Structure 1
Amino acid sequence: MTDQVMAAIDGSQFSASVCDCAAWASLALAAPLTFLHVVDNHPQTAEADLSGNIGLGSREHLLEELSHLDEQRAKVAQEQGRLMLKAAKERAIEAGIAEPATRQRNGTLLETLEELQDDIRLLVLGKRGETAHQSADHLGSNLERVVRTLHRPILMVPDAFKTPERVMIAFDGSKTTRKGVEMVAKSPMFNGIPCHVVIVGAETGDNRSQLEWALKTLRDAGHEAEGAIRAGEVEETLRTYQGDHAIDLLIMGAYGHSRIRHLLVGSTTTSMLRRASVPVLLLR
Structure 2
Amino acid sequence: MTDQVMAAIDGSQFSEGVCDYAAWASLALEAPLTFLHVVDNHPQTAEVDLSGNIGLGSREHLLEELSQLDERRAKVAQEQGRLMLNAAKERALEAGVTEPMTRQRNGTLVETLVELENEIRLLVVGKRGETAHQASEHLGSNLERVVRTLHRPILMVPDGFKKPEQVMIAFDGSKTTRKGVEMIAKSPLFQGTPCHVVIVGAETGDNRSQLDWALKTLRDAGHQAEGAIRAGEVEETLRTYKQEHAIDMLVMGAYGHSRIRHLLVGSTTTAMLRRASVPVLLLR
* TM-score scaled by length of structure 2: 0.95
SS in 1 for 2:35: strand
What pairs up with 1:28-177 in 2 under 5 angstroms?
28-42=28-42, 48-177=48-177
CA deviations on 1:103-123 (whole Å, 9 max, x unpaired) are 000000000000000000000
Aligned to 2:255: 255
CA separation in 2, counterparts of 1:154 and 1:210? 25
Cα shift at 1:161: 1.6
Cα shift at 1:211: 0.1
Distance 1:263 1:167, change over 3 A: farther
Distance 1:45 1:11, change over 3 A: closer
Distance 1:2 1:207, change over 3 A: same
CA separation in 1, counterparts of 2:153 and 2:141? 18
SS in 1 for 2:49: helix
Q: CA RMSD in A?
A: 1.8
Cα shift at 1:138: 1.0
Structure 1: 5+ residue stretches without partners: none
Q: Which amino acid is the alignment partner of residue 14 of structure 2?
A: F
| Sequence identity (%) | 87
Contact 2:93/2:100 (8 A) holds in 1: yes
Distance 1:191 1:50, change over 3 A: same
* TM-score scaled by length of structure 1: 0.95
Distance 1:206 1:108, change over 3 A: same
Contact 2:148/2:256 (8 A) holds in 1: no
- Is 1:237 paired with 2:226? no
Aligned to 2:9: 9
CA separation in 1, counterparts of 2:171 and 2:114? 28
CA deviations on 1:137-187 (whole Å, 9 max, x unpaired) are 111111111001000000000111200000000000000000000000110
- Is 1:180 paired with 2:159? no
CA separation in 2, counterparts of 1:173 and 1:256? 18
SS in 2 for 1:199: strand
CA separation in 1, counterparts of 2:45 and 2:220? 58
Contact 1:39/1:77 (8 A) holds in 2: yes
Distance 1:234 1:119, change over 3 A: same
Q: Which amino acid is the alignment partner of residue 27 of structure 2?
A: L
CA separation in 2, counterparts of 1:256 and 1:143? 12
CA deviations on 1:227-273 (whole Å, 9 max, x unpaired) are 0000000000000000000000000000299xxxx985367871110
Contact 2:255/2:266 (8 A) holds in 1: no
Q: Which amino acid is the alignment partner of residue 50 of structure 2?
A: L
CA separation in 2, counterparts of 1:67 and 1:117? 33
CA separation in 2, counterparts of 1:130 and 1:182? 35
Distance 1:15 1:158, change over 3 A: same
